[in-house]
C-alpha cells in the first residue's frame, strides 16, 4: 500500500484520492521527477513487472497497479457493467492518473493493456506523453486481406467456450502458449516453463466470471479504428515468434499508429518482461531516455534484472 511519503513523492501537495488508489492496489516507488506507469496484461498482476520496474526507480517515479479483478484488488474495484469493455479498464487507468495528478507520464502496457493504454491516451492526452506497447494487438481476429490478427473467429469462440467449461484446464493449456519457449531444453526453456507456471497460477487467482468477461473484451473487441487517433508517440515492442501477437500485427500497427517507433525484440514468446527482462529494459530506456536530464541506466543482463528483483 502507498504511504503518505510516497504520495508526496508522486503528487506533491495536491489532494490524493487514496480510496481509489487502494482499490487498485497502487504502489509508487522511485525518486525521479518524471513518472513511468506499468499496466499488466490479462490474467496477470503488477508482480509481473518485478524484473523490469526496479530498473527505473533511480531516475523515475514508478507507478504499479492491478486491473480490476486482478491480484489483491478490492471487490469494489470491479463492476460487471463498467468492465464489460476495455473502455472501462482505460477509464480506471485515467482515474489512477488523475488521483495521482500525473502529467506527461510514460504509460507502458503489455498485451491487452497496450490497447487499454491507447484508449487512455486518447481520453486523457495531458496525462500521458508517450506509450510503450509490448506485444500489442488492437484486434485478435483475422480480417483478410488487410489485417491478420492471428486467429479466426471460431478459434476465439472455442477458446472462450473452453474457458467457460474448464477454467483451470484452459489456464493450463494457454499459459505455455502465451509465454512461449517452454519446449526448449536449456536454461531459457527452464525460465519459460517457470514463468508459464507462474502465469497459470496468476490466471487461476482471478474469479472465473471476472476472467471470462475480461477475456471476451480482450479477444473479441476490435480497436483498429482507434489506432489512428492515438495522440502521443508510441514505441511498439514486437517479440519474435509470438503466438498471441504475431508479426503481422506489429507491422500493421507500425503502418497505422501515428508517431510510432517499431522495435523488433530478439525475445521469443509474448512476455518479454518475464523471460527477457534485460532486453525489455534496454529497449524502453533507449526510447524514453531523452526525457531525463541524466543518461539512462546502463543496459543490464536478464540475470542481473532478475537478481535485482529477487533482492528488492
Q: Which residues are catalytic?
A: 111, 242, 270
Q: Which residues neighbour 311 within 8 Å (Cβ) at sequence distance 6 or greater? A: none
Best CA proximity match to 87, nearest among 45, 43, 55, 119:
119
Q: Are 26 and 63 in contact (CB under 8 A)?
A: yes
Q: Are 114 and 82 in contact (CB under 8 A)?
A: no
List Cα–Cα distances, 152 to 119, 140, 142, 158, 160, in angstroms: 24, 8, 6, 10, 13
Do you find a cis peptide bond into 145, omega within 30 degrees of 0?
Answer: yes
What are the start-end ranges of the E strands in the chain? Answer: 27-30, 34-39, 60-64, 105-110, 128-134, 234-240, 260-268
CA distance 24 to 248: 34
Tell which phi-psi region holds residue 135, choosing left (phi > 0), alpha (psi between -120 and 50) or beta: left
CA distance 277 to 272: 6
Q: Are strands 234-240 and 128-134 parallel, antiparallel or unpaired?
A: parallel
Q: Are 71 and 45 in contact (CB under 8 A)?
A: yes
Collapsing DSSP states into helix, strand and coil, what is residue 111? Answer: coil
> For residue 284, what is its C-alpha cell?
524502453
Q: Which residues neighbour 309 within 8 Å (Cβ) at sequence distance 6 or greater? A: 50, 51, 54, 277
Amino acid at each position: 500500500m502507498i504511504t503518505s511519503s510516497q504520495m508526496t513523492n508522486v503528487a506533491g501537495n495536491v489532494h490524493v484520492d487514496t480510496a481509489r488508489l487502494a482499490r487498485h492496489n497502487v504502489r509508487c516507488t522511485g525518486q525521479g521527477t518524471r513518472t513511468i506507469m506499468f499496466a499488466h496484461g490479462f490474467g496477470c498482476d503488477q508482480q509481473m513487472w518485478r524484473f523490469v520496474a526496479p530498473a527505473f526507480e533511480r531516475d523515475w517515479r514508478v507507478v504499479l497497479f492491478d486491473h480490476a479483478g486482478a491480484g489483491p484488488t478490492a471487490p469494489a474495484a470491479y463492476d460487471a457493467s463498467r468492465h464489460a469493455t476495455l473502455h472501462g479498464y482505460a477509464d480506471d487507468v485515467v482515474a489512477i492518473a488523475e488521483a495521482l495528478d500525473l502529467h506527461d507520464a510514460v504509460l507502458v502496457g503489455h498485451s491487452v493493456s497496450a490497447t487499454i493504454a491507447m484508449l487512455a491516451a486518447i481520453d486523457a492526452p495531458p496525462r500521458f506523453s508517450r506509450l510503450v506497447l509490448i506485444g500489442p494487438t488492437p484486434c485478435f481476429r483475422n480480417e483478410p486481406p488487410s489485417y491478420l490478427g492471428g486467429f479466426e473467429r471460431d478459434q476465439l469462440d472455442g477458446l472462450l467456450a473452453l474457458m467457460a467449461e474448464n477454467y483451470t484446464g484452459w489456464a493450463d493449456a494457454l499459459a505455455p502458449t502465451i509465454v512461449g519457449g517452454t519446449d526448449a531444453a536449456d536454461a531459457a526453456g527452464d525460465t519459460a516453463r517457470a514463468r508459464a507456471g507462474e502465469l497459470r497460477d496468476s490466471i487461476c487467482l482471478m474469479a472465473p466470471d471476472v476472467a471470462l468477461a475480461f477475456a471476451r473484451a480482450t479477444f473479441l473487441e476490435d480497436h483498429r479504428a482507434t489506432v489512428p487517433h492515438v495522440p502521443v508517440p508510441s514505441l511498439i515492442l514486437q517479440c519474435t515468434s509470438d503466438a498471441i501477437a504475431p508479426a503481422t500485427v506489429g507491422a500493421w500497427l507500425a503502418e497505422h499508429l501515428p508517431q510510432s517507433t517499431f522495435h523488433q525484440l530478439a525475445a521469443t514468446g509474448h512476455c518479454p518482461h518475464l523471460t527477457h527482462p534485460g532486453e525489455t529494459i534496454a529497449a524502453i530506456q533507449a526510447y524514453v531516455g531523452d526525457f531525463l536530464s541524466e543518461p539512462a541506466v546502463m543496459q543490464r543482463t536478464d540475470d542481473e534484472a532478475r537478481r535485482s528483483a529477487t533482492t528488492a
